[in-house]
Amino acid sequence: MPVPADHDTSVLIIGGGIGGLTTSLALRHYGIDSVVFEQAEDLVKTQVGSGLSLGVNVARAFKHLELLDELAELAAPIKRVNYRNEKGEHLGSMPMSQEGELAQGVIRPAFHEFLVDKVGEENVQVGAKLERFEQDGGGVTAHFADGRTARGEVLVGADGFDSTVRTQLLGKSERRYAGYRTRRGVLETEFAKEGMFGIIMGPGERFLFYPVGRWWMYWTAANFEPPGGKQSQAEIKQTVLERFSGWPTPVESLVENTDESRTFIQDTYDRNPVKAWGEGRVTLLGDAAHPMTWDRGQGAGQAIEGAVLLARELSRSGDRAAALRAWEAERIPRTTKMVRYSRQVGRIQQSGNPAVCFYREKVMLPVMTKRVSKKGTADLLVDY
């Protein structure tokens, strides 16, 4: 149902993805009302059925929101990550979880449905395609394609990679193609209960897998190739089987046992970090603010982390614009580092250069896994 022109709320959230929905949950936790506006007509059906890795920082965020136990019922714990090369040689292993804060894997549509349920459909407006916003000293007015408008004290642009809010604030910017595409799949298998995140690397190729439910596994196969090529789901599966023939267990068995209807293809993109996300009473969050490659597994994690910290900052100050700037000052350096780190991980793990392959197998991975096994992942966490 359209929101009337005189509708008022504290925070307008543009975008009903993971970042936008978590922002609404976090605001409610701090006693601040909000409405989420999503251009799609159905929040869940638009989600691709692939997997999602949620790190220990996500566990801490949902623990703070008092939703961790409910999330744990939906997701699967990821205990360790294990690195091998395409010959099956062990390169290192390290914990993914720590006491009380478990890394977890989840099927994306199921996680999305969980968030929608917790936010409440009454707090989400679908079919709301933002055309523009305007702000003044008292608030922000959002104008939508179907003629509806809404006004709030603050507007958060969580409208994804090709954000309308970002374009109005910062102008258009080009995506950066990382050079590799991924073919992905989800399957039901007993192997999921082992709780292992596997990363297998060969020259210019990678294969990753991890549990996304008690009996469900998700896999990703990455190869260098131009972006944008189309394939049927049958072709996706066949391409992976051909390119990763002879790779270590369980690569071929995972792919062979995946139903073609549960395969997907996706190019890998990010954008260069920027030094400012907003102005006045408007800011950006998640992929609209800091789109990053999937290589570090922190795209959703940084959006969720940022959502909770944004809600906390808004709860502390009556000066909404000042609160947004304070939050940006805290978040921009951290997410900039994460965007660059994700690129670096992608370049090294995906590289086909013999010298780089030697470095990652003989130096980087042995040192990194030993350090994390000894010191943990405290550097990934923030306090709320």
Is the residue at 90 inside a domain?
no
Is the residue at 334 inside a domain?
yes
In which residue are the tokens 């992608």 written?
346
Q: Give the burial class of 103: count Cβ atoms within 10 A of its Cβ; 0-12 exposed, 13-18 middle, 19 or more buried.
A: buried
Question: String of b and e for 8-17 (b: at least 16 CB within 10 Å)?
Answer: ebbbbbbbbb
Q: Using alpha carbons, select from 26, 28, 64 the residue that is nearest to residue 383.
A: 64
| Count of domains observed in the chain | 1
Is the residue at 249 inside a domain?
no
- Rg (C-alpha) for the chain, rounded Å, is 21
Is the residue at 381 inside a domain?
no
Is the residue at 322 inside a domain?
yes
Cα 195 to the chain's mean position, in Å? Answer: 20
Is the residue at 278 inside a domain?
yes
Question: How many Cβ atoms are within 10 Å of 138's Cβ, its own excluded?
Answer: 9
Pairing outcome for strands 149-157 and 8-14: parallel
Is the residue at 220 inside a domain?
no
Domain of 286?
8-82+104-175+272-350
Q: Using alpha carbons, select from 108, 29, 107 the residue that is nearest to residue 62.
A: 29
Residues in contact with 383: Cβ distance below 8 Å, sequence separation at least 6, in sequence order: none
Q: Can you tell me the distance from the alpha carbon of 183 to that of 142, in angstroms, rounded to the nearest whole number?
A: 37
Cα 347 to the chain's mean position, in Å? Answer: 19
Is the residue at 375 inside a domain?
no
Helical residues (DSSP H) of the chain, grouped into ranges: 18-29, 56-64, 68-74, 108-119, 164-170, 233-243, 251-256, 299-316, 320-350, 354-359, 365-375
Predicted local distance difference test score (pLDDT) of residue 2:
39
Which regions in the chain score pLDDT beneath 50? 1-7
Per-residue pLDDT tens digits for 241-288: 999 999 999 999 999 999 999 999 999 999 999 999 999 999 999 999
In which residue are the tokens 């720590």 written?
98
Residues 234 and 208: beta-carbon distance below 8 Å: no
Predicted local distance difference test score (pLDDT) of residue 214:
87
Predicted local distance difference test score (pLDDT) of residue 48:
64
> Which CATH number is 167's domain given?
3.50.50.60
Per-residue pLDDT tens digits for 19-43: 999 999 999 999 999 999 999 998 7
Task: For residue 279, give the DSSP letter.
Answer: B
Residues 182 and 225: beta-carbon distance below 8 Å: no
What is the full DSSP assignment across 141-199?
EEEETTS-EEEEEEEEE---TT-HHHHHHH-----EEEEEEEEEEEEE-GGGGG-EEEE
Q: What torsion do the CA atoms of 371, 373, 379, 384 make, to the nearest 10 degrees?
A: -170
In which residue are the tokens 């601040």 written?
32
